[in-house]
Structure 1
Amino acid sequence: MSLNMNSASIEKSLRYLSVQVRLYGREILKEYKLSKIQFITLQWVSDSNGQTIGEVAKKLNLAYSTTTDIIDKLECSGFVRRERGHKDKRVVLVKIEQKGTELLSQVIKKRVQFIDEITCDFTEDEKEMLSTLLKRMIKKSESMSYE
């Protein structure tokens, strides 16, 4: 099977850019003594109005016990809280706290500044096209099975 050179170039570019964006925003995490995986977990938790540890573990592709340890540390630091489900009291949901939301906001703001800086030479039409194309790629990737 031959490698599609355009796709290979896109993959490499996305990989490199992803690393740069993460590194740029990661400086803030040092202030909070937060690890990369704790931050990623915080992002997943913030994407919903409460998730079980099992749901978070699946998204992170980590063992339940490992995810529980991460959630424990985030909870001790005041970034998340555990809450019993309203319909089923056996269900424990992990929800983001204000402190977690504020941290995410700071990091995302820093990342957006980075994107602004590296796209400052783009026209507004180019930025809109890039955004549209990336959204299409994400949508398509989310519809694919990886198993």
Structure 2
Amino acid sequence: MSDKEAIISIEKSIRYISVHVKSHGREILKEYEISPLQFVALQWVDDKVGITIGELSNRLYLAHSTTTDIVDKLENGAFVKRQKYEKDKRIVLVLMQDKGREVIKEVINKRISYISDITSHLTEEEKSMLPDVLESILDESERRSDG
């Protein structure tokens, strides 16, 4: 296999694995009546202690008004809350609530279970190498995204 063919295969594998992992985790969302896009927003809120709707809309690549609608629904469902920033009362932060953390935890646990199942056929050596290889690829991806 040529280098180009290998890269094409890697891209396809990562894309398909990502879809399958997401799909298994999303089964939980039905229980909470939360959409996949709302869940992505919830993850961004969880990743940062206090995020503005503007920052969130940039991360989601959505219009500010669309992001506001998503936050409204998440707030109505008690997944997040809005709070004025103490240092500048003009700024409103979106903060995670316990119910939001619970959903994320359940989805991640479901994903972890799925990944455990689909990697169970790997040898111990392959299992021990995989996290380092993936972490290296992730680090390089993030390094290039930051620039």
**What TM-score, normalized to structure 1?**
0.93
Matched, 1:55 2:58: no
Matched, 1:6 2:34: no
Q: 128-137 or 66-75, which moves further after superposition?
A: 128-137
User: 1:48-70, CA deviations, whole angstroms, 9 ceiling, x for partnerless residues?
Assistant: 11100111111111111110000
In structure 2, how many angstroms separate the alpha carbons of the residues matched to 1:125 and 1:89? 54
> What residue in structure 1 maps to residue 126 of structure 2?
126
Code of the residue aligned with 2:84 in structure 1: it is R
* RMSD, matched Cα: 1.8
Comparing both structures, which one devotes a greater share of its residues to strand? Answer: 2
User: 1:6-57, CA deviations, whole angstroms, 9 ceiling, x for partnerless residues?
Assistant: 1110000001100100111111111111111001000111001110011111
Code of the residue aligned with 1:60 in structure 2: it is L
Across the two proteins, how many residue pairs are aligned to each other?
146
In structure 2, how many angstroms separate the alpha carbons of the residues matched to 1:143 and 1:80? 30
Superposed, which structure 2 residues align to 1:104-143 within 5 Å? Answer: 104-143=104-143
**Kindly tell me: are residues 139 and 146 of structure 1, through their superposed partners in 2, closer, same or farther at Cα, counting changes over 3 Å?**
closer
> What residue in structure 2 maps to residue 30 of structure 1?
30
Listed as ranges, the gaps of 5+ residues in structure 1 are none
> What residue in structure 2 maps to residue 72 of structure 1?
72
In structure 1, how many angstroms separate the alpha carbons of the residues matched to 2:81 and 2:18? 29
In structure 2, how many angstroms separate the alpha carbons of the residues matched to 1:75 and 1:108? 21
Comparing both structures, which one devotes a greater share of its residues to helix? Answer: 2
**What TM-score, normalized to structure 2?**
0.93
In structure 2, how many angstroms separate the alpha carbons of the residues matched to 1:81 and 1:124? 44
Matched position secondary structure for 2:109: helix
State the identity %.
51
Q: 1:128 Cα deviation (Å)?
A: 2.9
In structure 1, how many angstroms separate the alpha carbons of the residues matched to 2:49 and 2:124? 34
In structure 2, how many angstroms separate the alpha carbons of the residues matched to 1:70 and 1:124? 43
